Amino acid sequence: MEEKIITKENLIKLSTDLVNEGFNVIAPSEKGYTLLQTDPLLSLSDSQPLPKSPFKGYLFPKTEPLFYYKKGQHDYEFVDVNLQNVKNIFLAAKPCDAASVNILSKVFNWDYKDEFFDIRADNSLVISMACSTSDEYCFCTSVGLSPVSTKGADLFMIPLAGDKYAIRIVTDKGKSFAEKYSKYFSDGNSVESEKVLAGIKAPEQSFDTAKVKDWLDKNFESEFWNGIAATCLACGQCAFSCPVCHCFDIVDEDYSYKEGRRMKNWDACQFGLFTEHASGHNPRDNQAKRYRQRISHKFKYYKDKFDEVLCTGCGRCTRGCPVSIDIKEIVTEINNLN
């Protein structure tokens, strides 16, 4: 893989240029993935822990208008949403978040193309950084990723000694970016960066997704689910903090009986009303069935349909769970049931 070097000083200059050119430069901070316009790059740290929320919301917002409608003189008129000006650069993104882009792209494109996601994803550049901050909740290595995975990244940063970074070019998009801003880069070789990568501690692998799927294939009905779901409060935190959960609702917001907008909002399979029919019938009428859906969607259905595990092992669902439901523990248990 082609490798370049950028000094921290040049990285700051490059980011300033990008901001001036109208890009949203988004980097991890204590608050989450935040815009550099509001958080100066000087705070960019090589040992920034995993942000509380992923950057998914920049590609697939919590709430977004699909179109605006207005009752005109004769009939309803639509006003479209323009996304062409949204240009995001995710800088120093965590590898577990970078991986989400390719995974999400599958569901948004497998048949009908959801351009609300596609335009944002096409206009984005992902520069991920080798992660040295994994903790006891992380399990990227169990889902086929690692702290040094380049999946989903266009460029991959490796912090080197002496306030500089090795930049590996992963995609063509990354290559043209490096060419466009070549004045900030110098040529590098992988000797030093390989040493840094070799020194990064990865979380231990806890389960094998093939074995997990094997159990899920055979155990739709199982007592196992009742035990797990007993404490779940159905708050949906796990889905909203997940880099790859993508369920949504479509609702109208009316301003004045004459105009309004149709919205696409995040939704979660843990909510009781998620699958409830207007008749009152609910195919997933208790939390055990809803938790089974969550785990099965991630480790079986998505794999069946798109050959991807719908999980990047970031562990946010566990970190944020108010009743300490631990996905790594649960999936490891499923692994061991086999």
Partner 1 sequence: MENIYKPYLMEIKEIIEETSDTTTFRLAFKDGSIGEKFDFKAGQFAEYSVFGEGECTFCIASSPTRKEFIECSFKKAGKVTTALDRLNVGDTIGFRGPYGNYFPVDEMKGSNVVFISGGIGLAPVRCVIDNVLDLRADFKDITIIYGARSVDDLVYKDKLEDWKKMPDVKTIVTVDPGGETPEWKGEIGFVPAIVEKAAPKAENTYAVVCGPPIMIKYTIPVLLKLGFDEKKIVTTLENRMKCGLGKCGRCNVGNVYVCKDGPVFTYEQMKELPQEY
What DSSP character marks residue 298?
I
Asked if residue 254 binds partner 1 (CB under 8 A), the reply is yes
Q: Contacts from 181-190 at CB under 8 Å and sequence distance 24+?
A: 181/14, 181/17, 184/6, 184/10, 184/11, 184/13, 184/14, 185/4, 185/5, 185/6, 185/10, 186/4, 186/5, 186/6, 187/3, 187/4, 187/5, 188/3, 188/4, 188/5, 189/3, 190/1, 190/3, 190/166
Is 41 in contact with 11 (CB distance < 8 Å)? Answer: yes
CB-nearer residue toward partner 1: 172 or 221: 221
Q: Taking the complex as a whole, how short is the minimal distance between the CB of residue 23 and partner 1, in angstroms?
A: 20
Cα angle for residues 252, 256, 258 (degrees, 5° grid): 80
Asked if residue 113 binds partner 1 (CB under 8 A), the reply is yes
Structure-derived torsion over alpha carbons of residues 158, 146, 23, 37, reported in degrees to the nearest 10? -80
Asked if residue 298 binds partner 1 (CB under 8 A), the reply is no
C-alpha to C-alpha distance for 157 and 151, rounded to whole angstroms = 13
Binding partner 1 (rule: CB under 8 A), the pick from 132, 247, 333, 338 is 247
Binding partner 1 (rule: CB under 8 A), the pick from 83, 86, 200, 234 is 83
43-82 mask for partner 1 (x: CB under 8 A)?
-----------------------xx-x-x---xx-x-xxx
Q: Taking the complex as a whole, how short is the minimal distance between the CB of residue 45 and partner 1, in angstroms?
A: 36
Binding partner 1 (rule: CB under 8 A), the pick from 221, 223, 307, 324 is 221
Asked if residue 186 binds partner 1 (CB under 8 A), the reply is no
Asked if residue 276 binds partner 1 (CB under 8 A), the reply is yes
Binding partner 1 (rule: CB under 8 A), the pick from 154, 267, 315, 316 is 267
Asked if residue 114 binds partner 1 (CB under 8 A), the reply is yes
Q: Taking the complex as a whole, how short is the minimal distance between the CB of residue 217 and partner 1, in angstroms?
A: 10
CA-derived radius of gyration, the chain = 22
Binding partner 1 (rule: CB under 8 A), the pick from 111, 172, 187, 307 is 111
The residues in 143-182 that bind partner 1, with binding defined as CB under 8 A, are none
169: Cβ contacts below 8 Å, ≥ 6 apart:
1, 2, 3, 4, 155, 175, 178
CA dist 116 to 81, 93, 247, 260, Å? 9, 22, 14, 19
Asked if residue 112 binds partner 1 (CB under 8 A), the reply is yes
Asked if residue 19 binds partner 1 (CB under 8 A), the reply is no
> Would you tell me which residues interact with partner 1 (CB under 8 A)?
66-67, 69, 71, 75-76, 78, 80-84, 107-108, 110-116, 119, 220-221, 246-252, 254, 257, 260, 262, 264, 267, 269, 274-279, 281, 283-284, 289, 293, 296-297, 300-301, 304-305
